[in-house]
A and B are shown apart, each in its own frame.
Chain A
């Protein structure tokens, strides 16, 4: 029945502990799986934004160094989540981390805030599909195939009406698929994800085997002039710079954080025998490194082939809607990559894979949002009906419906009332950083507030008398605060424009207000929400 489980390292013979045959004794996720999963959650479409947006908004910024420095800084947030998971492996994420450490009010507010902004990101990706996916694809195919129909389609489809219609159909399709069969949805998602990587690999190869001269020629083929674009941007007010600028490189780092800051997903999965060798922690750091290397290689190749000054100039003109912008499609990494080949099948493949890359970001984020809604509903902060499952489809139709309605509302706002698309992205980043900072504060105080749990955990180490989790929490808070300050004070990112600030304050206020309202409503029904996370005396 029982079994010898491990061999000690300290020279003592035999086992260091024995287990019996009992359910739930699973092994840790393998390092390879952990790495693959984390890397998959580093959004490549967002990462490649760096290539086009960094030089445009921050002249002289190096996309390569933006990726590398940001990845190094993100080690601390990744460590924070992995250590928290070592302490509370079954807690399910930041909602519980914060609720148990600080207060359920803080936990809910932090969780609701980030979920509300995740939903905006879902809507944002659905919106991006049209200008940066479909229109870009039509335009490139049109030029490569010499088809004016495709060129016209590239322009026609990029209207507000089509942007909303295509985004809405995509959101509805994802919601329907996840409601009809989650298993099928996730299976499709897996294949779409693999397909999206095809575009990344093809892009890297095209960049590798094409020189700057090839690209200059391609720009001409698409009706523009490489030097002309740079000159027009200068004339339109773009400062531009062909030289490396460290200050602007640091200011541009929030662009990379939008990807690397989320390499924390396996923090939510753990076994009952926690890895004594901290293998999962290493895997999380390693996956951040791998994602950073992939993005950094793409950035280095993009800088070499396109030239940062051209990328900045073209993006500046395109974002400003300047008439001097010579292309039918919006300025974006995969569009410029597609210009490097005249092979229509290859262009279609790259374009499709990039369209798919936007779509694959939706189901996982959709799932995170519905799971959070379930957790709040189980804890009675939100109505019980939100966690109801439809008896026929066995799906959470109500929660899925709420997510769909909210994302459709966001989509309408983005399309019909939105300004520069980066404004919204970085407003979301700014607001999500509020939640991350609360998690970091929880990490700092956890060893003191929940001393017994910390002392019983596998990470009960101290450095100069200060608990490891506290040290990592302080470092992560410093990183988060740096990005928050950077996003909040950098005009080029647009998050400090009044619509962004209004949205941040409104959602934060709603996040803070819901919990006390729920406490009052539940109290009238005889349910005391304050009991949910109150620790019982263990004596």
Chain B
């Protein structure tokens, strides 16, 4: 009989814990703190003026890094079907790390692979605006704290 995915919350919690450890070691302390605090990651391409909010199992949201204006939803996924019993989805922390790595390594290629949709298709723009405002406020305070 073919093996199939059966949800196992305990296994998923353990996987998420492990994935958070990898996120911390690969993307660094600030990214880890961002994920722990807000449940998403951010990435800004300061050279070209774009920023991205990276939600687990949800689209990447592009925004204008100068004005904060939200631009588009980029739907990209990283599915692994090698173990049918475990399902195809990476743990949330691995999913955001995979998106962060892909943007870091090849921003244009990653966005070129994504299905691009107008804002609001999967994520509520008002929620994303609030998330971005909270994130920027926290980042400013963090920088001030580091300078003192």
Q: Is the pairing of A and B real? A: no
Chain A contact residues, CB within 8 Å of chain B: none
